Amino acid sequence: MTTAKTLEIKVQSSATAVGKMRNEIDVFAKFGKDVRYNLSTDEGQFHGGDSTAPPPLFYFCAGLTGCFMTQVRAFAKKMQIPIDGLKVDGLFQWRAHLSETDPYVGAPVGFDFEIAIDSPASAEDIARLVNAAKQGCFIEQTMRTVNAIGHRVTLRGEVLDL
Amino acid sequence: MTTAKTLEIKVQSSATAVGKMRNEIDVFAKFGKDVRYNLSTDEGQFHGGDSTAPPPLFYFCAGLTGCFMTQVRAFAKKMQIPIDGLKVDGLFQWRAHLSETDPYVGAPVGFDFEIAIDSPASAEDIARLVNAAKQGCFIEQTMRTVNAIGHRVTLRGEVLDL
């Protein structure tokens, strides 16, 4: 008999804008035990920052790459498909339309992985594994979905209507 | 007269799986000049890792938080709306259905920001600024869109059909 259960994943961030463009960001979760990292961001001079930390998009790209790779290895164990090596090159593209008067609107353009797997397994098993990892990766699944993002803004003690 | 132009954003990653669950990830882009960071990931013991680096989801949450905050300050300058302070608390949730036999499928549940802004500006101006930042944040815009993610897999020199 297959017994199924649900795993709830909750991550929190607490962030303060400092300096010109730097954001001091603490990220924390209860993953088995408490896990906490400072993952601050900054921008380069071209975007008005001081280059003291990685740009936000870099964290996004690392998270997406690492999430997929983690699922390949986690599911390889579960599916008993041996993996001796895994390398992934990612290319992530966006576009913005700039005007001199209005703020720009950003848009995703494309996200692509080149994946090199070293394994004695059959092509069918590796395809099955990669497809399972795509479905298991929380970030890829988020990107395949239209998500509402909540913004509750407080100004001088009052909650704003957006 | 308004002159408009398009800004193309391209970020690349190059990653190798090492150890149990660690991924050594270099992220690089030409943002004005070459920018490169090592943003490696790992998992805790509960997920078979050695806790040598932040989990992938932490990078995703930091990227999303930092992207939105950066746009608030960048657009505040452009829209001439003064901002004296900005704090953001984020809550990011996912769910997975586990079974004993199959790999799990992940799903996004909710993404919410509590935003505290310190500013002498009017509520209307702050609402206009936050709404512009939501549209300008590349990661939020990605999350509001259904994205195809390309996976090109090579095994023993052959490209696989997925």
Is the predicted pLDDT of residue B133 greater than 80, yes or no? yes
Q: Tell me which residue of B126, B20, B42 sits closest to A153, measured CA to CA.
A: B126
Q: Which of A3, A98, A154 is closest, CB to CB, to B5?
A: A98
| CB neighbour list of residue B126: distance below 8 Å, 6 or more residues apart | A153, A155, A160, B81, B117, B119
- Cβ separation A12–B91 shorter than 8 A: yes
Q: Does B143 touch chain A (CB under 8 A)?
A: yes
List phi, psi (to 5°) of A12: -125, 150
**Which pLDDT does position B99 carry in this prediction?**
77
**Which pLDDT does position B5 carry in this prediction?**
87
Between chain A and chain B, how many beta carbons pairs sit less than 8 Å apart? 469
Q: Tell me which residue of B83, B107, B114, B73 sits closest to A13, measured CA to CA.
A: B114
**Which pLDDT does position A87 carry in this prediction?**
98
**Which pLDDT does position A1 carry in this prediction?**
47
Q: Which of A46, A137, A155 is closest, CB to CB, to B31?
A: A46
Nearest-CA distance A82 → chain B (Å): 13
**Which pLDDT does position B1 carry in this prediction?**
47
- Tell me the per-residue pLDDT of B90-132, one tens digit each, with 9 for 90 and over: 999 999 988 777 788 999 999 999 999 999 999 999 999 999 9
How confident is the model over A45-69, as a mean pLDDT?
97
Task: Label residue B2 by pLDDT band (50, 70, 90).
Answer: low
- Three-state DSSP at A34 gives strand
Beta bridge partners of A28: A12, A36
- Tell me the per-residue pLDDT of A85-132, one tens digit each, with 9 for 90 and over: 999 999 999 999 887 778 889 999 999 999 999 999 999 999 999 999
- Tell me the per-residue pLDDT of A78-87, one tens digit each, with 9 for 90 and over: 999 999 999 9
Q: How high is the ipTM of this complex? A: 0.95
Is the predicted pLDDT of residue B26 greater than 50, yes or no? yes
**Which pLDDT does position A2 carry in this prediction?**
53
Q: Tell me which residue of A72, A85, A79, A90 sits closest to A117, measured CA to CA.
A: A85
pTM score, two decimals?
0.95
Residue with tokens 């339309």: A97
| Alpha carbon distance A62, B18 (integer Å) | 15
